[in-house]
Structure 1
Amino acid sequence: MKLLIDLGNTRLKACAHGESLQLVGEIVDNHTLAVWLERNATSITVVAIASVAARESYQLVSSTLKSYLPSIQVFRLQYDAGLLATSYEFPEQLGIDRWLALLPFAKRGEAVVIDAGTACTIDVLSNSKHQGGYILPGLRLQRDVLAQQTAAVSFPRSQLGEVRLGLSTGECVSHGSLRALVTLANDVGEEFGQTVERASLYITGGDAPYFEGHLEAEKRPLLVFEGMLIALDHLIEGNK
């Protein structure tokens, strides 16, 4: 079984791949990774990590993997222009999670991918190349910043999926944050849909459900892991 670890800014997510990709729901940090490995280490044949976290977080996870899987090869996934090139002048500045989320569409050559997480990213794949994108604060980050910089405001969770005019300060913030992100995503989709016939929209990330009903995008909750599997298989094949 392949273990795929997505180490983000705020949490750790993992998928196991035997015959299919399965999200390992209880893994959210290094401690719960250790608990899971204690029960499942003997089933793991290879590990891949994609990390945008601080070096300390990556080193902590690496240490845990070495403790429970001392003889298992661990691959840290990196940008590879041979699989999918980017227009970035300095490709090392492209977040690995953004690159991986585009990788499943590399052969198709066209896609617009929205990753709605701590940050909301929108990336365009055209002519089989990453053309660039946008990075904005995600829904919760926008609300948190406003709450920190202004008088305390309540933000009920039920308001997160609305884009209508707000009828309270909390609604105005929550609805405005979502509407801004939805509008940008639709604009990008329309712009590239006019020039690229098959530039379909795809959405992933923890906040993706809040976009439902406001954005015509295909939901791909495991999109980054789909890309990880492609990148890992490429590395394994190259090491044979």
Structure 2
Amino acid sequence: MKNLWLDIGNTRLKYWITENQQILEHTAELHLQSPADLLLGLIQHFNNAGLDCVGISSVLDKNNNARIISILKRLQVPVTFARVHAEYAGLICAYDHVEQLGIDRWLQVLASASPEQNLCVVSCGTALTIDLTQGLQHLGGYILPNLYLQRDALTQNTKGIQIPDAAFAELSPGRNTIDAVHHGILLGLLSTIRQVMLQFPGKLVLTGGDAALFAQSLSEFDPVIEPDLLLKGLQFYMQHHAEGPSDNKG
């Protein structure tokens, strides 16, 4: 089967086309707050791909998701939106109101969790998110501004200080303002992850665009980098959805 997988986030639209679990095509594009318009420009390409079904992870509101559905109807194949469940494939969600948990976080946990392991799943994307599991029990997590959001906040709210882009690569004390900012932000996020790992020991799983950067400074935890963790979670969700989820809550 040839499938289209869509990850529609706050700033980017990512898609994978797979056939028999093999990735044939993978692209990520900024959608500039108009993901439906971006998708409209891609629909003919998808139509020519000979797809069998579409699976979607979307953080958009109902109105935007309705536009997405109307565009995807042109493909004339089944379309399924993943959603958070109180329990799914044995994994229990920690949130009291499951609809408040981001679908991207849920799918990443769903892809990773196993009865035999405790996990710390860190997604290094637009936000840095941390989710914890104890076996198949999701414990909850943390959300922090990522490297670039923190730098932007300093730029916008600190008068008289200009902070141009620079690499987040060092942890030594900065000897100028630019280095002090970049080294300090990275140190702060790494310290947060270390503190969480000390409180909740387990396997450290990193995903997202900055996963490799964080991994090189967290070697003591022997981190595992999973670049397509959301895709794996979406595939798992769809497979289990076809068999029938454990409940329909959330």
TM-score w.r.t. structure 1 length? Answer: 0.87
2:208 equivalent in structure 1: 205
2:106 equivalent in structure 1: 99
Among all aligned residue pairs of Structure 1 and Structure 2, give the percentage whose two residues are the same amino acid. Answer: 33
Q: What's the RMSD between the two structures over aligned residues?
A: 2.1
Q: CA deviation at 1:21?
A: 4.8
Q: Distance in 2 between matches of 1:139 and 1:230?
A: 30
- Deviating more after overlay: 57-66 vs 160-169: 57-66
Within 5 Å, give how 1:182-193 maps onto structure 2: 182-193=190-201
Aligned pair count? 231
1:196 equivalent in structure 2: none
Q: Which letter maps to 2:17?
A: A
- Deviating more after overlay: 18-27 vs 95-104: 18-27
Q: Which letter maps to 1:121?
A: T
Q: Distance in 2 between matches of 1:208 and 1:200?
A: 15
What SS does the corresponding residue of 1:9 show, helix, strand or coil?
coil
Q: Which letter maps to 2:103?
A: I
2:146 corresponds, among 134, 138, 142, to: 138
Q: Distance in 2 between matches of 1:91 and 1:28?
A: 28
Q: Distance in 1 between matches of 2:212 and 2:164?
A: 17
Q: In structure 2, do the counterparts of structure 1 residues 75 and 189 end up closer, same or farther at CA, with 3 Å as the change threshold? A: same
- Deviating more after overlay: 207-216 vs 29-38: 29-38
Asked if the contact 1:161/1:211 (under 8 Å) is kept, the reply is: no
Asked if the contact 1:9/1:54 (under 8 Å) is kept, the reply is: no
Q: Distance in 1 between matches of 2:153 and 2:68?
A: 29
Moved over 6 A (4+): none
Q: CA deviation at 1:55?
A: 4.0
1:33-80 deviation line (CA, Å, top 9, x unaligned): 3444312324211111111134454334333212x31x2111110112
Q: Distance in 1 between matches of 2:135 and 2:6?
A: 29
Query: Is 1:45 aligned with 2:41?
Result: no
What SS does the corresponding residue of 2:200 show, helix, strand or coil?
helix
Structure 1: runs of 5+ lacking an equivalent: 194-198
Q: Distance in 2 between matches of 1:104 and 1:207?
A: 19
1:4-46 deviation line (CA, Å, top 9, x unaligned): 1111111111122213353522544344534443123242111
Q: Which letter maps to 2:65?
A: Y
What SS does the corresponding residue of 1:89 show, helix, strand or coil?
coil
What SS does the corresponding residue of 1:157 show, helix, strand or coil?
coil
Q: In structure 2, do the counterparts of structure 1 residues 59 and 210 end up closer, same or farther at CA, with 3 Å as the change threshold? A: farther
What SS does the corresponding residue of 2:96 show, helix, strand or coil?
coil
1:88-123 deviation line (CA, Å, top 9, x unaligned): 211111111111101122334421100011110011
